[in-house]
């Protein structure tokens, strides 16, 4: 009689078995996936890297996304000019004694948002041109760099006539150059393989391709879909770049290769107000991709003018390197905006902001080496502190287990220019060949 079981018990055992099977399946999938956490100060280029990966993998956008980017270009023109004018007083410059320029500026600030399908208003083109060509504004560009003027201002203002064409649609580079604050947590999955090295570089000046143009119309009506794209946004996320009412595509960025591996990038806001959310992303991280704006060595934070961008990045990096969560996590260091750094280092001495720099004045290569060594030393210091905790034996890992004598984590520094698609491709290939091949074999990724 003891062998008899009720129907309820049999059903409960069956449900338990199904749950166990699902858990095992999820764990197997997790072992085949690399979770890359994107960290860094605001305006370091994290979202730009994700847009470049989108171009390199799928290379197409929904009509709603392209319309949002088009409207964002117009908004960036306004916010960029406002940032420039706001900083003029800091360098003893002003346009207030020029009534024509001042009226043009006030009109631009009051410009209504561009609506879906609406061309940029004709009346604003001469106003933008007047301000951009104004001698005070031109002088202000050179003196206001340290006040975190958006990097895309010269780019968009040098293309005003093209932007005001009635048929204007964003190019690939326009999309990469757009700027909007990322709030919340965004997860994007990419499928890559060794054949990623043979990916064709999209033409930066070409008009961005729509999903319909690339894949044709689907039989099922409704929102456009991308074969296999996955972009998961947390409930508290506020991504203004994709502020469209259109339903977002949900699948995976699919490369046309027979063997693919999964990289899941988790992008979080870099502003100080967003950093409290980072801890929710710390579990099961394969590697950290930490971005630093090299050109920020002489700039302040957008949200805190008393804080130097580079100093803030170093402080943030130090905190991450000391975290027990990441004791065995590979660290990928992107020293980004190398092009802007080279352009400004001759006129803005590094030693003025970092007195311990003893390299030649105006030498970009020496400056790059200096900052790379600073970040490497910070990581070594953090590793030493964690090793001391291990030896003490009285500290636990985040999972409440004693430390073990595991491998030392690796640091992979790269100099990058996030707006350059070709350079981003080369760096991502390098990451796949090093971190994913050498450090993540135990996760069965490669």
- Annotated binding site for Mg(2+), which residues? 47, 182
Q: Which of 215, 297, 240 is nearest to 113 (CA)?
A: 240
Report the C-alpha dihedral over residues 146, 150, 154, 159, rounded to 10 degrees. -170
Q: What is the largest CA-CA distance in the chain?
A: 100
Neighbouring C-alpha atoms within 13 Å toward the C-beta of 62:
20
- DSSP labels for 12-41? HHHHHHHHHHHHHHHHHHHHTEEEEEEEES
Q: Which of 195, 199, 204, 214 is nearest to 159 (CA)?
A: 204
How many helices (H) and strands (E) the chain has is answered by 14, 11
d(CA 286, CA 40): 17
CA distances 233 to 154, 222, 230, 271, Å, are 31, 21, 10, 18
Specify binding-site residues: 47, 182, 267-271, 336-339
Contact 60/313 with Cβ under 8 angstroms? no
CA distances 119 to 62, 114, 115, 126, 210, Å, are 19, 7, 8, 15, 19
Residues 6 or more apart in contact with residue 375 via CB below 8 angstroms = 292, 314, 317, 333, 335, 413
- 230 sits in which H/E element: strand 230-233
Contact 300/307 with Cβ under 8 angstroms? yes
- DSSP labels for 138-160? HHHHHH-GGG---TTHHHHHTTH
Specify binding-site residues for GTP: 267-271, 336-339
CA distances 27 to 33, 120, 280, Å, are 10, 50, 19
Q: Rounded to 5 degrees, what are φ and ψ at 36?
A: -105, 120
């Amino acid at each position: 009689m003891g062998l008899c079981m009720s129907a309820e018990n049999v059903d409960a055992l069956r449900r338990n078995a199904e749950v166990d099977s699902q858990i095992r399946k999820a764990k197997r999938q997790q072992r085949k996936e690399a979770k890359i956490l994107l960290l860094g100060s605001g305006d370091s280029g994290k979202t730009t890297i994700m847009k470049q990966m989108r171009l390199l993998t799928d290379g197409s956008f929904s009509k709603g996304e392209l319309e949002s980017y088009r409207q964002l270009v117009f908004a960036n023109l306004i916010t960029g000019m406002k940032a420039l004018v706001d900083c003029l007083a800091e360098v003893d410059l002003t346009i207030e004694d020029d009534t024509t320029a001042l009226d043009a500026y006030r009109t631009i600030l009051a410009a209504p948002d561009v609506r879906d399908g609406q061309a940029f208003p004709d009346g604003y083109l001469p106003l933008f041109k007047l301000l951009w060509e104004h001698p005070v504004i031109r002088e202000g560009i050179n003196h206001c760099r340290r006040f975190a003027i958006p990097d895309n201002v010269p780019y968009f203002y040098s293309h005003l006539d093209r932007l005001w064409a009635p048929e204007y649609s964003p190019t690939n580079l326009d999309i990469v150059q757009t700027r909007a604050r990322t709030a919340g947590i965004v997860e994007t999955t990419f499928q890559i393989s060794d054949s990623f090295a043979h990916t064709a570089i999209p033409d930066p000046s070409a008009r961005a391709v729509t999903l319909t143009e690339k894949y044709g119309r689907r039989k099922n009506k409704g929102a456009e879909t991308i074969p296999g794209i996955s972009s998961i946004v947390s409930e508290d996320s506020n991504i203004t770049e994709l502020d469209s009412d259109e339903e977002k595509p949900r699948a995976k960025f699919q490369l046309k290769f027979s063997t693919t591996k999964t990289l899941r990038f988790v992008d979080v806001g870099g502003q100080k107000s967003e950093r409290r959310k980072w801890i929710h992303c710390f579990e099961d991280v394969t590697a950290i991709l930490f971005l630093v704006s090299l050109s920020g060595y002489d700039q302040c934070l957008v949200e805190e003018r008393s804080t130097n961008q580079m100093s803030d990045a170093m402080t943030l990096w130090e905190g991450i390197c000391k975290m027990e969560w990441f004791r065995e996590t590979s660290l990928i260091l992107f020293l980004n905006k190398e092009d802007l750094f080279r352009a400004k280092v001759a006129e803005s001495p590094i030693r003025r902001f970092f007195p311990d720099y003893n390299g030649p004045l105006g030498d970009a290569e020496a400056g790059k080496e200096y900052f790379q060594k600073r970040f490497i030393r910070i990581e070594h210091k953090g590793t030493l502190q964690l090793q001391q905790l291990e030896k003490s034996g009285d500290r636990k890992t985040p999972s409440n287990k004693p430390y073990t004598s595991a491998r030392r984590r690796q640091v992979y520094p790269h100099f990058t220019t996030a707006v350059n698609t070709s350079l981003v491709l080369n760096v991502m290939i390098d990451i796949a060949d090093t971190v994913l091949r050498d450090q993540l074999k135990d996760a069965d990724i490669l």
